[in-house]
Amino acid sequence: MNTRKTALITGASRGIGAAIACSFAENGYHLVLTCDKSMEALEKLAEQLMSDHRISCTTLQADMSCEEDVLQIFSEIKHLDVLVNNAGISYVGLLSDMTAKEWHRVMSVNLDSCFYTARAAIPLMLQKHAGHIINISSVWGNAGASMEVAYSASKGGMNAFTKALAKELAPSGIQVNAIACGIIDTAMNACFTREDINQLKNEIPSDRLGRPEEVAQLVLQLAQSPSYLTGQIITIDGGWR
């Protein structure tokens, strides 16, 4: 019988998601990886991880804001130990310029997706009376960011979702935590100019952006943490806050 654990990581084709996939593969987890559009990159990553670490790795194209897509993903999963809700999008601009469609898209991808995946994952985790749900949040969910109101609101909602669900699932041995990331060096921040990035760095005591691998290391540690650790929003921001 295969005793290796299985982790589902959403938005895994690049950046933080890809780094998390690498970290879990290095530690022997079988993987289910999703992305919305970058399937070529996701499949290349999966092939490399399977070759390097002798794990199984299933890749699935899915819009995590779509309930039907999420249900399809879980129809192919027989057991699950770790769910990492990493898929997310941002919107940078004045709230007064934002359309209702753009607002709902951010909320759906960043927050509705957590509802869809957690709801589907819980029965699988209840089978073992154990499991980890880890949500990738943001410091803007705590502090709020000008020009990123929708993103901040979605991540603030994710933080509240995490705390509430952790209380609900604690008697069942399922841990729910979130990681509030500071400015991480990923493609999502490509919208910022070099001047913007330098200004942000000046506000960070560590004097640099975070690396995806650092977030991935923290996610893995949470997945292997004592069962009493639940309901926490853990910040990784170089001392910014």
Name the residue with tokens 């399977």.
50
Q: Model confidence over 164-182: pLDDT tens digits?
A: 999 999 999 999 999 999 9
Give yes or no for residue 10 having a pLDDT over 90.
yes
Fold category of 6-233 in CATH: Rossmann fold (3.40.50)
**Residue 117, CA distances (Å) to 28, 49, 123, 163, 235 in order:** 23, 24, 11, 16, 23
Q: Is pLDDT above 90 for 198?
A: no
CB distance 237 to 180 below 8 Å:
yes
Higher pLDDT, 193 or 111: 111
- Residue 119 CA, distance from chain mean position: 16
pLDDT reported for residue 1: 35
Strands 131-138 and 82-85: parallel
> So what's the pLDDT on residue 2?
47
Query: Residue ranges of the domains in the chain?
Result: 6-233
pLDDT, tens digit, 9 for 90 and up, residues 89-147? 999 999 999 999 999 999 999 999 999 999 999 999 999 999 999 999 999 999 999 99
Q: Give strand pairing partners of 135.
A: 85, 178
Cβ neighbors of 235 (< 8 A, separation 6 or more) are: 139, 142, 179, 180, 182, 241
Total Cβ atoms within 10 A of residue 226: 7
Distance (Å, whole) CA 167 – CA 150: 26
What's the Cα-to-Cα distance from 21 to each of 50, 83, 146, 205, rounded to whole Å?
11, 12, 31, 28
Q: Is the pLDDT assigned to residue 3 strictly greater than 70?
A: no
Least Cα distance to 9 among 157, 238, 212 occurs for 212
> What does the pLDDT look like over 27-83, one tens digit per residue?
999 999 999 999 999 999 999 999 999 999 999 999 999 999 999 999 999 999 999
Which secondary structure element, helix H or strand E, spans residue 3, and what is its range? Answer: none
User: Using 50, 70 and 90 to split pLDDT, how confident is the model at 4?
Assistant: confident
The C-alpha angle 195, 200, 202, rounded to 5 degrees, equals: 95
How many residues in total does the chain contain? 241
Query: Residue 44 belongs to what H/E stretch?
Result: helix 39-53
Q: Say which residue, 192 or 224, is predicted with more confidence.
A: 224
Report whether pLDDT(150) > 90: yes
Asked if 184 and 16 count as a contact pair (C-beta separation under 8 A), the reply is: yes
CA distance 84 to 87: 9
Out of 29, 116, 151, 228, pick the active-site residue: 151
Annotation marks residue 151 as catalytic: yes
